[in-house]
Chains A and B, each alone.
Chain A
Amino acid sequence: MTHGLHSSSVRRRHVPRENVRTVRFGLLAAFALSFAMPVEADSLLPPAEYADQQLSDPRQEAEAKALMETVRCLVCQGQSIADSDADMAGDMRALIRRRIEAGEKPEDIRRWLVERYGNWVTYDPPLEPVTWPLLLAPILFLAGGAWLARKRFRRRRR
């Protein structure tokens, strides 16, 4: 595990309150947990309204769901918030459903999130100079491959 993962995973772990007897134990637990694999369970609060509850309007719910599937979870990086059980992902789902219900457009919500977390947060990156290679590379590779193979085609034909 890398150092970055340590620091990011340790600050979201939950240890039952009764286990934390002294500062020393707390620090020890934090240290020990930095080697633990990510586990769920953070806050004692129940999930936010709309975290796991669908919107009553199926069209709005479909919009919200489509957006959730392309928004990246901040805690469990590599999952979309639709797939994640993390508290924060639940809060993000609730935020999206609340805003969709209020009539906001999915792309405006995505922009709002990107403004705060950068393009990192979206699985649907916009076309920007940085992301050009993503779309251009396959075309370039295909073109390069065709160019490399062009003589073979010609030879075969003769």
Chain B
Amino acid sequence: MKRLVLWAPLAVFAIFLAVVAIGLYAPSDRVIRSQMIGRPLPAFALPEALPGRRAVSSRDFATGQPRVLNIFASWCVPCIAEAPLLLDLKARGVPIDAVAIRDRPQDIARFLARWGDPYRNIGLDADSRVQLSIGSSGVPETFVIDGEGIIRHQHIGAITEGDIDEILAAYEAAR
């Protein structure tokens, strides 16, 4: 018993080292998921992002049909990478609304003219208010919202070809 107690501090230290080593070598997950999945989209009404283009408001959702909400910005490089994939989703009949974060109308217009315009309505979120209210922590992010206005799915980061199925599945499941 006494011998055992003698070794206890070393054993504790070994456990401590093991915990540190695991923490150092395991790939850390720095993605912060929204806690709003399964909860209703908070109420908001954004101003229009482009003259003459319908803006986005929470009332557009909960109309019986699921919709995709894309958080993007003209100053966001990965948003360029996901543009063709959003066009692909649009071609498959997925309605996509956009929230432009901290953006200017002229920049949005230039971005859409250059990389394609997959969006139905676009709202301007100049101070990230809507982004914060839905628990999004960066651009781009994509949310699937079901016909009752419940947030069903969050995709963090640019959509790549491998993510299309996941988003389509979430969209179908939200029907």
Given A43-B103, A49-B127: 19 more A-B contacts, CB < 8 Å: A4-B29, A8-B157, A11-B157, A14-B75, A26-B77, A26-B81, A42-B75, A43-B75, A43-B102, A75-B137, A91-B127, A91-B128, A91-B132, A92-B128, A94-B127, A115-B36, A116-B34, A117-B32, A117-B135
**Does B28 lie within 8 Å of A11, measured CB to CB?**
no
Q: Which residues of B contact A33 (CB under 8 A)?
A: 77
How distant is B84 from chain A, measured CB to nearest CB, in Å?
8
User: From A26, which residue of chain B is reached at the shortest CB distance?
Assistant: B80
Q: Which residues of A contact B128 (CB under 8 A)?
A: 48, 87-88, 91-92
**Does A45 lie within 8 Å of B102, measured CB to CB?**
yes
**Does any Cβ of A come within 8 Å of B76's Cβ?**
yes
Interface size class of B (residues with CB under 8 A): 35 or more
Annotate B26-49 by CB proximity to A: 1 below 8 A, 0 otherwise.
Answer: 011111111110000000000000
**Does A44 lie within 8 Å of B75, measured CB to CB?**
yes
Task: Count chain A residues whose beta carbon lies closer than 8 angstroms to a beta carbon of B.
Answer: 44
**Does any Cβ of B come within 8 Å of A37's Cβ?**
no
Q: Which residues of A contact B33 (CB under 8 A)?
A: 118
Annotate B56-82 by CB proximity to A: 1 below 8 A, 0 otherwise.
Answer: 000000000000000001111110110
How distant is A77 from chain B, measured CB to nearest CB, in Å?
6
Q: Which residues of A contact B145 (CB under 8 A)?
A: none
**Does any Cβ of B come within 8 Å of A74's Cβ?**
yes
**Does any Cβ of B come within 8 Å of A95's Cβ?**
yes
